Amino acid sequence: MSDSRLPVTVVTGFLGSGKTTLLRHLLSEGHQRLAVVVNEFGEVGLDGDLLKNCGFCPEDEVDERIVELNNGCLCCTVQEDFLPAMEALLLRSNQLDGIIIETSGLAFPKPLLQALNWPAIRSKVFINGVVTLVDGDALSNGSPVGDLKSINEQIKNDKSIDHLTSIYELFRDQLISADLVLISRSDLLSAKDFSLVRDEVKDKGNSITNILPISNGKIEPSLILGIRNEENNFSHLDQNDHDHDHDHDHDHDHLDVISEHLRLETSINQEVLKEILVSLVPKYQILRIKGRCWIEGKDLPLQIQMVGSRFNSWFEIAHDAAWKPSKSGIDLVFLSLSPGVKEAFKLRFN
């Protein structure tokens, strides 16, 4: 929809953590019209080719949908490289469902997030979420990166980096900025080792950020990208078609994602609504919230998008077929790992 804001998803993590493998899965299985901004200096051509060859769009659109930035660390070249690339993509926003930015593992995510709030961009996009990939096998062996030599080569060979930062400080920044952390190569870990890795990630990052196991880049795309339809319908999620159980037992067979739909006619206070939704995230391990609320006296409904505790909202016209209360009300879908979100929300809201 040309009048809708585009979701921008930032994928970060060190070299070898599985970012490109995840992106290939999202592009080929997400069934969305996505554009990708790739910044992985030293490997730009390789990453770009791997993405271009996954058949996610018609051949004549590939060069327009994948933008490779190889002038160094994105957080150091925001104004020179990133903003012009985003502005060019947004000229075609009515042909896209979303944008994914794959950062170098040497880039701080925060400058990119700040750039997405620039006046020329912020009215056209919202930050869908920051996803940090962590090499679980490497971390269980004592390092956030599996190939420290290659990382040091990146730092040595890129002359445009204007920050000299330790690997561990970069790692901490990636975790603190994350709305969702994916532990890659989790199939190589025992339940005990995964638990230790998860505890270390929580200790170094944000204690309420959801942490999920992943192997071979496979995860339900909606958990990363969200979905863009007018009925807020997540029913296509096959709850038994995932790699792992969220408790990470020895079955390694699926991730139980619970979908709950709340539709309620009630008066709305926008700030109270935000406070309640954010407060429910850690207890129920809420991955996503999507929907809208109608506030009495407002001509347009308030669109709501959340990944983890990141809350996005703006007023925007609803589809003609969308549910509408007589005065004010809420129409939300929750995706969580623990049941009971809907009833907990009602208890808190009333």
Return the amino acid letter for 70: N
Q: Which residue has the higher pLDDT, 263 or 106?
A: 263
User: Distance between CA 346 and CA 350 in Å, rounded?
Assistant: 6
Tokens of 267: 């008066």
Residue closest to 193 by CA, chosen among 244, 140, 247, 246: 140
So what's the pLDDT on residue 240? Answer: 36
pLDDT in tens, 332-346: 999 999 999 999 999
pLDDT in tens, 155-168: 665 555 555 567 88
So what's the pLDDT on residue 257? Answer: 87
Q: How far is CA 130 from the centre of its chain?
A: 5
So what's the pLDDT on residue 208? Answer: 86
Within 8 A by CB and 6+ apart from 44, the residues are 38, 68, 69, 70
So what's the pLDDT on residue 245? Answer: 38
So what's the pLDDT on residue 72? Answer: 54
pLDDT in tens, 11-65: 999 878 888 889 989 988 888 888 888 876 554 444 555 555 555 555 656 666 7
Antiparallel, parallel or unpaired: β 125-135 and 6-12: parallel
Q: For residue 210, is pLDDT > 50?
A: yes
Which residue segments constitute the domains of the chain, with CATH numbers given? 6-225 (3.40.50.300), 258-349 (3.30.1220.10)
pLDDT in tens, 94-149: 888 999 998 877 777 887 888 888 887 888 999 999 999 999 999 998 888 876 66
- Angle at Cα 288 formed by Cα 68 and Cα 33, nearest 5°? 35
Q: How far is CA 127 from the centre of its chain?
A: 8
Q: How far is CA 305 from CA 100, 124, 274, in A?
A: 16, 15, 11
So what's the pLDDT on residue 119? Answer: 81
